[in-house]
Amino acid sequence: MAWYEPLLAIDRRVLYALMFLAVLIPTLLPIGLPIRITPEVQNVYDRIDGLRPGEIVFYALEYDPSTAAELEPMAMAMLRHAFSKDLRVLACCLSSTGVTLVEDEIARVAREYDREYGRDYVYLGYQPYPGIVIMTMGENFRTPFPLDYYKTPLDELPMMRGVRNYDDVALVFTVNATSGIDHWITYGQGRYKFPLGLGSAAVMATNYYQYVQSGQLFGIISGLRGAAEYEMLIDKGTVARKGMDVQSIAHALIVLFILFGNIAFLVERRRRRLGRAD
Amino acid sequence: MKRELPRILTLVTGVFLALQYFVPHRASATVYETLMDWLIIVGIFAILLGIAGLVRLHSGKIRSRQTNWPFSIVLLAGLFGMIFLGFWGQDLGSPFVTAYFQVLNPVQATMFAMLAFYIASAAYRAFRGRTLLATILLLSAVIVMLGRVPLGELLWPPVTIGSLRIPGVGEISDWLVNVPNLAAKRAIFVGLGLGGAATALKVILGIEAPHLRG
Amino acid sequence: MPDSAYASSRTVDLAATAAARARIVLRAASAVALVVLAAVLTALPCARAVAPVGQVTAADTPNDPGRSIDVAWTLSPDDRLPDPGDSLALTVLAYRILRAGPGDSLVEAGTVLAGQASYRDSGVEDGVPTIYRVETVGSDSSLALSPPCAPAVARGQWFHGKKTVLLIFMLAFCGAVIGLIQQARRGRELYVRPIAGLAAVDEAIGRATEMGRPILFVPGLATAGDVATLAAYTMLSRVARKTAEYQTRVRVPCYDPMVMTIAQDVVKSAYLDAGYPEMYQKDDVFFVTQDQFSYVAAVNGLMIRERPATNFYIGKFYAESLILAETGNYAGSIQIAGTDEIVQIPFFVAACDYTLIGEELYAASAYLSREAPLLGTLKGQDWGKAAVVILVLAGTIAATLGWQGFVDFFATQ
- pLDDT category, B211, cuts 50, 70, 90? low
Q: C410 in contact with A at a CB cutoff of 8 Å?
A: no
Do residues C106 and C209 both lie within one domain?
no
> How many helices and strands, by DSSP H and E, does chain A display?
12, 6
Mind listing the pLDDT tens digit for each residue in A238-261? 899 999 999 999 999 999 999 988
DSSP string, C212-240: T--EEEE--SS-TTSHHHHHHHHHHHHHH
A92-121: average pLDDT: 93
Q: Do B146 and A249 touch (CB under 8 A)?
A: no
Residue C12 has what pLDDT?
46
Distance in angstroms (rounded) separating the CA atoms of residues C200 and A228: 45
- Number of domains forming the structure of chain C: 2
In total, the C-beta contacts within 8 angstroms joining chain A to chain C are 24
Mind listing the pLDDT tens digit for each residue in C133-163? 999 999 888 999 999 999 999 999 999 888 8
- Say if residue B91's pLDDT is above 80: no
Final residue of a domain: which of C113, C129, C145? C145
Residue C144 has what pLDDT?
92
- Say if residue C9's pLDDT is above 60: no
Tell me the chain A residues in contact with residue C318 when contact means C-beta distances shorter than 8 Å.
178-179
**Minimum Cα–Cα distance from A100: chain B residue:** B97
Q: Do A67 and C319 touch (CB under 8 A)?
A: yes
Do residues C216 and C312 both lie within one domain?
yes
> Among partner residues B109, B145, B149, which is closest to A244 by beta-carbon distance?
B149
The contacts of residue C352 (CB under 8 Å, 6+ apart) are C313, C325, C328, C329, C335, C336, C337
Q: Do A251 and B146 touch (CB under 8 A)?
A: yes
Q: Do C292 and A164 touch (CB under 8 A)?
A: no
C173-183: average pLDDT: 88
Residue C2 has what pLDDT?
42
What pTM does this model have? 0.79
> Among partner residues A207, A244, A255, which is closest to B146 by beta-carbon distance?
A255
Residue A93 has what pLDDT?
95
Tell me the chain B residues in contact with residue A207 when contact means C-beta distances shorter than 8 Å.
185
Chains in contact with chain A (at least 3 beta-carbon pairs closer than 8 A) = B, C
Hey, which of A125-134, B195-204, C35-44, C300-309 has the most confident mean pLDDT?
A: C300-309
Residue C27 lies in a domain: no
CA distance B66 to chain A (A): 31
Distance in angstroms (rounded) separating the CA atoms of residues A235 and A242: 14
> Among partner residues C292, C318, C343, which is closest to A207 by beta-carbon distance?
C343
C219-230: average pLDDT: 89
**Minimum Cα–Cα distance from C347: chain A residue:** A203
Do residues C136 and C265 both lie within one domain?
no
- Say if residue B155's pLDDT is above 70: yes
Give which of C113, C292, C327, C348 to mutate to test A binding, by max A Cβ within 10 Å: C292
- Give the relative orientation of helices A65-84 and A99-112 as an angle to the nearest 10 degrees: 30
- Say if residue C352's pLDDT is above 80: yes
Residue C29 has what pLDDT?
67
C56-84: average pLDDT: 89
CA distance A195 to chain C (A): 14
Which of the pair, B50 or C217, is modelled with greater confidence?
C217
Distance in angstroms (rounded) separating the CA atoms of residues A147 and A129: 17
A102-120: average pLDDT: 95
Q: C262 in contact with B at a CB cutoff of 8 Å?
A: yes
* Residue-range definition of the domain harbouring residue C327: 193-362
Domain CATH code at residue C278: 3.40.50
Residue C3 has what pLDDT?
42
Q: % helix / strand / coil in chain C, to the nearest 5?
A: 50, 20, 30
Q: Do A249 and B108 touch (CB under 8 A)?
A: no
Helix residue ranges per DSSP H, A138-238: 180-183, 190-192, 202-205, 209-214, 223-234
Residue C267 has what pLDDT?
94
- Say if residue C45's pLDDT is above 60: no
Q: A77 in contact with C at a CB cutoff of 8 Å?
A: no
Do residues C205 and C274 both lie within one domain?
yes
Helix residue ranges per DSSP H, B64-164: 69-88, 95-99, 105-126, 132-147, 150-155
- Say if residue C87's pLDDT is above 80: no
Q: Do A247 and B100 touch (CB under 8 A)?
A: no
Give which of B17, B85, B121 to mutate to test A binding, by max A Cβ within 10 Å: B121
Do residues C236 and C357 both lie within one domain?
yes
Tell me the chain C residues in contact with residue A139 when contact means C-beta distances shorter than 8 Å.
122
Chains in contact with chain C (at least 3 beta-carbon pairs closer than 8 A) = A, B
B4-18: average pLDDT: 87
Distance in angstroms (rounded) separating the CA atoms of residues C405 and C413: 14
C12-29: average pLDDT: 65
Q: Pairing mode, if any, of strands C92-100 and C131-138?
A: antiparallel
Q: Do A100 and B100 touch (CB under 8 A)?
A: yes
Domain CATH code at residue C95: 2.60.40.10
Q: Do C283 and B57 touch (CB under 8 A)?
A: yes
> Among partner residues B53, B118, B196, which is closest to C362 by beta-carbon distance?
B196
Q: Do B199 and C362 touch (CB under 8 A)?
A: yes
Tell me the chain A residues in contact with residue C61 when contact means C-beta distances shorter than 8 Å.
none
* Closest of A33, C122, C165, A68 to residue B109, by C-alpha: A68
Tell me the chain B residues in contact with residue C64 when contact means C-beta distances shorter than 8 Å.
24
Tell me the chain C residues in contact with residue B203 when contact means C-beta distances shorter than 8 Å.
230
Q: Do C381 and B112 touch (CB under 8 A)?
A: no
Mind listing the pLDDT tens digit for each residue in C339-350? 988 889 989 998
Distance in angstroms (rounded) separating the CA atoms of residues C28 and B156: 87
**Minimum Cα–Cα distance from A226: chain B residue:** B148
B196-214: average pLDDT: 77
- Say if residue C228's pLDDT is above 80: yes
CA distance A259 to chain B (A): 9
**Minimum Cα–Cα distance from B30: chain A residue:** A136
Residue C49 lies in a domain: no
**Minimum Cα–Cα distance from C330: chain A residue:** A12
**Minimum Cα–Cα distance from C276: chain B residue:** B214
- Say if residue A15's pLDDT is above 70: yes
For residue B116, give Cα distances in angstroms to A19, A27, B214: 8, 15, 45
Tell me the chain C residues in contact with residue A193 when contact means C-beta distances shorter than 8 Å.
413
Q: Do A255 and B142 touch (CB under 8 A)?
A: yes
Do residues C203 and C262 both lie within one domain?
yes
Q: A5 in contact with C at a CB cutoff of 8 Å?
A: no
DSSP string, A4-68: THHHHT--HHHHHHHHHHHHHHHHHS------PPPHHHHHHHHHHHTSPTT-EEEEEEE--HHHH
Query: ipTM score of the complex?
Result: 0.85
Q: What is the DSSP letter of B167?
A: P
Distance in angstroms (rounded) separating the CA atoms of residues A230 and A120: 22
Q: How many CB atoms are located within 10 Å of the residue A134 CB?
A: 26
Mean pLDDT of the residues in chain A: 91
Instruction: Residue window 286-305, chain C: list those with CB within 8 Å of chain A.
Output: 291-293
Q: Do C319 and A66 touch (CB under 8 A)?
A: yes
Distance in angstroms (rounded) separating the CA atoms of residues A86 and A48: 11
A41-66: average pLDDT: 93
- Say if residue A146's pLDDT is above 70: yes
Handedness of CA C80, C83, C89, C93 (dihedral sign): positive
Residue A128 has what pLDDT?
83
Q: Which helix (H) or strand (E) holds C253?
A: strand C250-254
- Give the relative orientation of helices A223-234 and A39-49 as an angle to the nearest 10 degrees: 40
Distance in angstroms (rounded) separating the CA atoms of residues A80 and C339: 38
Q: Which amino acid is at A7?
A: L
Residue C348 has what pLDDT?
93
**Minimum Cα–Cα distance from B51: chain C residue:** C287
Q: What percent of chain A has pLDDT over 90?
A: 63
Residue C7 has what pLDDT?
40
For residue A89, give Cα distances in angstroms to A71, A114, A118, A173: 18, 13, 10, 11
> Among partner residues B33, B116, B181, which is closest to A250 by beta-carbon distance?
B116
> Among partner residues B36, B120, B181, which is closest to A15 by beta-carbon distance?
B120
B102-116: average pLDDT: 86
Distance in angstroms (rounded) separating the CA atoms of residues A126 and A97: 9
Q: What is the three-class DSSP state of C110?
A: strand
Instruction: Residue window 88-127, chain A: list those with CB within 8 Å of chain B.
Output: 97, 100-101, 103-104
**Minimum Cα–Cα distance from B39: chain C residue:** C225
Q: C319 in contact with A at a CB cutoff of 8 Å?
A: yes
Q: Do B47 and C66 touch (CB under 8 A)?
A: no
- Give the relative orientation of helices A12-28 and A239-274 as an angle to the nearest 10 degrees: 150
Q: What is the DSSP letter of A185?
A: I
Q: Do B198 and C380 touch (CB under 8 A)?
A: yes
- Say if residue A7's pLDDT is above 80: no
A48-77: average pLDDT: 92
C46-55: average pLDDT: 81
- Say if residue C8's pLDDT is above 60: no
Residue C318 lies in a domain: yes
Q: What percent of chain C has pLDDT over 90?
A: 39
